[in-house]
Amino acid sequence: MKVLALETANEQCSVSVIDDTQELFFQLDARAKAQTQTILPMIEQALKDLSLAVSDLTAIAFSRGPGSFSGVRINAAVTQALAWSNDLPVVPVSTLQALAQAAYRLHGLTEVTAVLDARMNEVYIASYQLDAQNIMQPVDEEQLLGYEQGSATVKFAVVGSGAHLVQTEETEYKNVTATAQDIATIARVAAASENWVSAELALPVYLRDNAWKKIPEQGKA
């Protein structure tokens, strides 16, 4: 098994390739909003380094949102194009679940409430617990909430860019960010059981239904 994992939903770009047991390639470009310039060259570099063609892959995994609108859209579009043209299945991974997985990878946290700043006085939020396969699994639904509602939803240690928006005390986990490594970790388990979808279902998840509109059209300041 070889899975290509892509992450552009957090205003940075990273690519990972894994097999059944290990990471074969990882590259991160942390520059904000550079995904359109970097995602395809990074994929090409990964395949070149590993002497692989896209058709040699078992599946493509991607961060399907919620997150940066443009970042989520780029991730889904690139994944769908590669998967469709090479008849490959796709593993969509929640950006919030990947954030929770990053909290486990970086800090060993096994119960977290993942929170991303959604702008416009709102956050994306969901809680996760580690399962027997060392994968963070959801214990509630992903939601788009105002700060006060988000605060009432917190169950565990808060991680992510929206942490300071839903709690008053400082947290050392505000800067936890998911990468393609976390997408790959979650996707490895899913791919092993063929828990995937076809290319046409590689769809972004925004939670905000009118995310495609300009801010004045959303009726929000």
Q: How confident is the model at residue 32 (pLDDT cuts 50, 70, 90)?
A: confident
| Residue whose structure tokens are 């860019």 | 161
Strands 111-117 and 157-159 come out as: parallel
User: What is the arithmetic mean of pLDDT over 85-93?
Assistant: 98
> How confident is the model at residue 3, as a pLDDT?
98
Report how far residue 104's alpha carbon sits from residue 215's, in angstroms, rounded to the nearest whole number. Answer: 35
What pLDDT digit, counting tens, does each position of 34-70 carry?
Answer: 787 899 999 999 999 999 999 999 999 999 999 988 8
Predicted TM-score (pTM) of the model is: 0.92
Task: For domain 2-94+179-201, give the fold.
Answer: Nucleotidyltransferase; domain 5 (3.30.420)
Query: What is the location of CATH 3.30.420.40 in the chain?
Result: 2-94+179-201, 96-166
- Residue 28's nearest CA partner among 102, 115, 139 is 102
| Residue whose structure tokens are 């889904």 | 76
So what's the architecture of 96-166 in CATH? Answer: 2-Layer Sandwich (3.30)
In this model, does residue 97 exceed pLDDT 50?
yes
Average pLDDT, the chain: 92
CB 7 within 8 A of CB 73: no
